[in-house]
């Protein structure tokens, strides 16, 4: 049950990252939320396997913060790569 709350916290903060970053039209509305949720779940699982107590504070901080950080990285990198890929495709089609 604790993992559910930690993952939900990562989801909410990742969705906030989606709306805080520019160029929302270049990525899906649920992409950053999905990335943040998955990362939060993986971090929580990995830390419990490493023996971190689920009632300790640091597992909560690490798992809730990891999701939005990953979402932030994806949200900053993806639009640049999308613009470059779209421009390359346009150039290939224009030669045509």
- Residue 57: what pLDDT? 94
Rounded Cα distance, 59 and 5, in Å: 12
Q: Find the mean pLDDT for residues 15-42.
A: 96
Its pTM stands at: 0.90
**What values do phi and psi take at 47, rounded to 5?**
-70, -35
Cα distances (Å, whole numbers) of residue 15 to 41, 46, 49, 72: 15, 23, 27, 10
DSSP string, 4-69: HHHHHHHHHHHHHHHHHSS-GGGS-TTHHHHHHHHHHHHHHHHHHHTT--TTSHHHHHHHHHHHHH
Q: In the chain, how many domains are there? A: 1
7, pLDDT greater than 80: yes
pLDDT in tens, 50-91: 999 999 999 999 999 999 999 999 999 999 999 999 999 999
Query: Confidence band (pLDDT; 50, 70, 90) for 32?
Result: very high
Query: Confidence band (pLDDT; 50, 70, 90) for 25?
Result: very high
- Residue 22: what pLDDT? 94
- Expressed as residue numbers, the domain containing 87 is 2-95
């Amino acid at each position: 049950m604790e993992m559910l709350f930690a993952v939900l916290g990562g989801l909410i903060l990742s969705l906030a990252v989606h709306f805080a970053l520019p160029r929302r039209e270049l990525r899906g509305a649920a992409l950053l939320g999905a990335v943040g949720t998955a990362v939060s779940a993986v971090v929580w699982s990995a830390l419990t396997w490493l023996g971190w107590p689920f009632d300790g504070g640091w597992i909560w901080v690490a798992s809730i913060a990891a999701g939005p950080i990953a979402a932030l990285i994806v949200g900053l990198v993806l639009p640049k790569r999308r613009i470059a890929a779209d421009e390359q495709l346009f150039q290939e089609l224009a030669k045509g």
